[in-house]
Structure 1
């Protein structure tokens, strides 16, 4: 669980949920938040605005599209030659 109290326009509570589907994860997160908000220690006026999973695909697409360095040794062995080194 992470709290992003400076997020605008509202604070954000992040939960990491393991579930069989996105819909199940969102339902579980909503249930946890509503249960917490039903507690006696919650100040008046605090409520759940929405419960959803953020779209992280663009972040991972950027990671996957970045060129990766060749593993150590492979670049030195194969540089300028297109033969399979012994033992590969």
Structure 2
């Protein structure tokens, strides 16, 4: 089944088939690059997840807030390491 896609460069509508790279019939610009689109989507998702993290240190945070967030990050890493160790220990040791 063919889909119509508008070229971002020249605005010409093109018919594409399949999932491989397609070029515009008018200007030759790449219309659809699944690899590039997927990488952009992953990058956007990672940035959204980083922004949601409660201990993300921003440039406009005060020194006290930065210290608190660094302390929170270190505490989180230590606690998760301990929990991971005990989970590994429970999985390895026979009952």
Q: TM over 0.5, yes or no?
A: no
Name the structure with the higher helix share.
2
Name the structure with the higher strand share.
2
- TM-score normalised according to structure 2 size: 0.30
